[in-house]
Amino acid sequence: MSSLTLEMYIPRVRGCVGSSTSTRDKTNLKYITSGVSQAVQALKGEVDVLIKGVGERNVAKEVKHILEMARRASSKRETLHTDFLTPPVLKESMQILEKLADVKAIAQGGYPQAERCRISVGHPEELTSDPDVISALSIKGNFQFEPCSHGDFLGSILGTGIVREKLGDIILQGEQGAQIIVVPELVEFLMSTLVKVRNVPVTCTKIPLISLDYEPPRTKSFKTIEASLRVDALASAGFKISRSKLVEMISNGDVRVNWIPVTTKGNTLKSGDIVSVSGKGRLKIGEINSTKKGKFAVELIRYL
């Protein structure tokens, strides 16, 4: 798909000098106004076409906003930044942005495996390095006798009044506390207001991104032979729970594919999909091969 630029739609005007405007110039200016209007409509149409393959409505809405931001940044030769995005929005946005010739996009989350990232967009000639748009904080306390979960840290941070979109990943550090990624403008605020997680007193200090202590998740891989690639079949095999129980969990909204709740057991999975089940964890769909008997040999990667 060809990239869209305003220059494609706006005609050049000759002979417009000083404040005087000839009849011909007025006609040209009228034509320019019409051209700009056409460009805006074309831009809107182009974005609508680009997001056509995004299935989930809320995700598509956010992706559309990001694409419009990218076009604005490119045409004005400035750099704009999103808040922290959920994995589905991040994935869909980057897949589309990377296809656009007149837009450069950089995703940053603090470390290579970050799930929540910010995207910076701009013209390729202007966006030449990674913008300074994320910071890291260390939250320390004595959690030996009162272990705190990801949800405990998230709840305490949001309890200070900030919104989720300003916060990236939370990396648990066991008895020591946690490290978090956040927008730079909220570093001082959190350092002064976040003083407790549950009942544990904490101190917050800013740390460089290279000090993030992240260990890649431990996984266990195994293969299963299934008659279909439906989510109920593969999730049932991956989490070692009955098909009927899995179907019930789908109905209750407890099963997600690529972080989006599934509403029907008939959803078909593909390599690279992430399936999460409340209270059970998550797994990744690995390599898929067909068997001689017409079934599917599927690699399941379970996160431990």
127 within some domain: no
129 within some domain: no
SS (H, E, C) 167-230: EEEEEECHHHEEEEEECHHHHHHHHHHCCEECCEECEEEEECHHHCCCCCCCEEEEEEEECCCE
**Distance between CA atoms of residues 256 and 87, nearest Å:** 12
Only one residue has tokens 């730079």, namely 184
Q: Which of 82, 101, 122 is the last residue of a domain?
A: 122
pTM of the model: 0.71
SS (H, E, C) 214-260: CCCCCEEEEEEEECCCEHHHHHHHHHCCCHHHHHHHHHCCCEEECCE
pLDDT at 99: 86
Q: What is the domain-level CATH number for residue 257?
A: 3.10.290.10
The domain total for the chain is 3
- 118 and 145 assigned to the same domain: no
pLDDT per position as a tens digit, 148-207? 988 899 999 999 999 999 999 999 998 999 999 999 999 999 999 999 999 999 999 999
| Better-predicted residue by pLDDT, 92 or 19 | 92
pLDDT at 58: 84
Give the pLDDT mean for 282-299. 95
Average pLDDT along the chain? 84
**Distance between CA atoms of residues 243 and 127, nearest Å:** 49
Q: Is residue 74 scored above 80 in pLDDT?
A: yes
Domain containing residue 96: 6-122
Neighbours of 191 (CB within 10 A): 15
Q: Is residue 10 scored above 80 in pLDDT?
A: no
Q: How confident is the model at residue 215 (pLDDT cuts 50, 70, 90)?
A: confident
275 within some domain: yes
Q: What do you get for the CA distance between the two ends of the chain, in Å? A: 41
Q: Which of 245, 242, 164, 153 is nearest to 198 (CA)?
A: 153
Q: Is residue 304 scored above 60 in pLDDT?
A: yes
pLDDT at 250: 93
State whether residue 50 is helix, strand or coil: helix
**Distance between CA atoms of residues 25 and 14, nearest Å:** 8
pLDDT per position as a tens digit, 237-256? 999 999 999 999 999 999 99
Q: Are 97 and 51 in contact (CB under 8 A)?
A: no
Q: Is residue 44 scored above 80 in pLDDT?
A: no
**Token digits for 155?**
């709840």
**Distance between CA atoms of residues 277 and 254, nearest Å:** 6
Q: What is the domain-level CATH number for residue 142?
A: 3.30.70.330
pLDDT per position as a tens digit, 104-152? 999 999 998 899 999 999 999 888 888 899 999 999 999 998 989 888 9
- 200 and 109 assigned to the same domain: no
